[in-house]
Amino acid sequence: MIPPAFDYATPKTLREAVALLGQNPEAKILAGGHSLIPMMKFRLASPALLIDLNRLDSLAYLREEGGWLKIGAMTREADLDHSDLIQKKYPLLADTTRMIADPLVRNMATVGGNLAHADPANDHPAAMLAYGAQVVATGPKGERVIPIDQFFTGPFETALAHDEILTEIRIPAPRPGSGGAYMKVERKVGDFATAAVAAQISLGASSSCEYVGIGLTNVGLTPIKASKAEDALKGQKPDDANIRRAAQLASEAAEPASDYRGSEEYKRALVKTLAVRALRKAVERAKGG
């Protein structure tokens, strides 16, 4: 399968990329291309122009700065896979990256693309919701920061204006006593989640939960932030009863549709089970386990 014909540009600077995007209403940004190119082959997308960011090395970085982990939008999934910082300090992100597609895809696929594509089946959105991340959008007037819980506006739709490019992701650097985990059920390597749950927790001095973030993958039209479940656990001790109550609320926040991956009931039950496991693992890691 060959994609429909299109024009192709490799801007030398971010400013040039933003200008090109503004001038071409039918243009799309090419990041890793591992969602977009298959969609083009299937004629689900037929942009008139692809603006390739792969030559903008300045958009590929990973650093802690001013209390944030800053990830350049063109950072490859494989770079997270191979980063000691991510593996040690950001276990939720490490778990998530490892579950995205397969190692070959991860060599090309980018963190920014995974978010900007806004497929509710993608894995990073739930993790970023759990972290309480922000994204930076760069447009003709400069940068603006969008909290991740305001970013996903519909299936494959985001708060980005047409002439804005997602350029950076910011994750609050977790303080000591934090941990997270991503639990995903997929039918096979490379499949989208039947359901998945991201959890991030920070424990306070009395071992109660100071911060709780819970995100759900592929159980609704957008990635879902399970706010009621978060609120139920906040300020509470993460004991079994409280974790189970939060997981129940997470499954109630899910809006899955029955399909070939499972019935609505099955997916809801799956969310509950995965939420219990993700929260338990997050707590274990927060305690240094």
Partner 1 sequence: MSTHHVKVTVNGAVKEADVEARTLLVHFLRETLGMTGTHIGCDTTSCGACAILLNGRAAKSCTVLAVQADGGEVMTVEGLAQNGKLHPIQEGFMEKHGLQCGFCTPGMMLSAVALLKQNPNPTEDEIRWGLSGNLCRCTGYMNIVKAVQYAAEKMKTQ
Residue ranges of alpha helices (H) inside 34-102 are 36-41, 77-81, 84-89, 91-98
User: In the set 44, 104, 161, 221, which binds partner 1 (CB under 8 A)?
Assistant: 104
Nearest approach in angstroms of CB 46 to partner 1 is: 10
Q: Which two tokens stand for residue 93?
A: 């992100």
Annotate 72-94 with b (16+ C-beta within 10 A) or e (fewer): bbbbbbbbbbebeebbeebbbbb
Q: Is 38 in the site for partner 1 (CB under 8 A)?
A: yes
Query: Under DSSP, is residue 278 helix (H, G, I), strand (E, B) or coil?
Result: helix
Distance separating alpha carbons of residues 102 and 9, to the nearest angstrom:
28
User: In the set 37, 62, 159, 173, which binds partner 1 (CB under 8 A)?
Assistant: 37
189 vs 241, which CB is nearer to partner 1? 189
Q: Is 189 in the site for partner 1 (CB under 8 A)?
A: yes
Q: Is 26 in the site for partner 1 (CB under 8 A)?
A: no
Closest CA to 28 of 152, 91, 135, 113: 113
Amino acid code (one letter) for 168: E
> How many chain residues touch partner 1 (CB under 8 A)?
28
Q: Is 6 in the site for partner 1 (CB under 8 A)?
A: yes
Distance separating alpha carbons of residues 255 and 93, to the nearest angstrom:
24
User: In the set 14, 45, 62, 105, which binds partner 1 (CB under 8 A)?
Assistant: 105
Binding to partner 1 (CB under 8 A): which residues in 110-169? none
Distance separating alpha carbons of residues 258 and 221, to the nearest angstrom:
13
- 19 Cβ contact partners less than 8 Å away, ≥ 6 residues apart: 140
User: In the set 21, 31, 33, 83, which binds partner 1 (CB under 8 A)?
Assistant: 33
Q: Is 103 in the site for partner 1 (CB under 8 A)?
A: yes
Query: Under DSSP, is residue 212 helix (H, G, I), strand (E, B) or coil?
Result: strand
Binding to partner 1 (CB under 8 A): which residues in 211-270? none
35 vs 178, which CB is nearer to partner 1? 35
User: In the set 101, 127, 209, 233, which binds partner 1 (CB under 8 A)?
Assistant: 101
Q: Is 54 in the site for partner 1 (CB under 8 A)?
A: yes
In Å, how far from its chain's centre is CA 288? 24
Distance separating alpha carbons of residues 4 and 283, to the nearest angstrom:
49
User: In the set 64, 102, 231, 239, which binds partner 1 (CB under 8 A)?
Assistant: 102
Choose the stretch contacting partner 1; rule: CB under 8 A; options: 100-108, 203-211, 226-234, 249-257: 100-108
Return residues touching partner 1 (CB under 8 A): 1-8, 10, 30, 33-34, 37-38, 41, 50, 52, 54, 78, 101-105, 107-108, 189-190
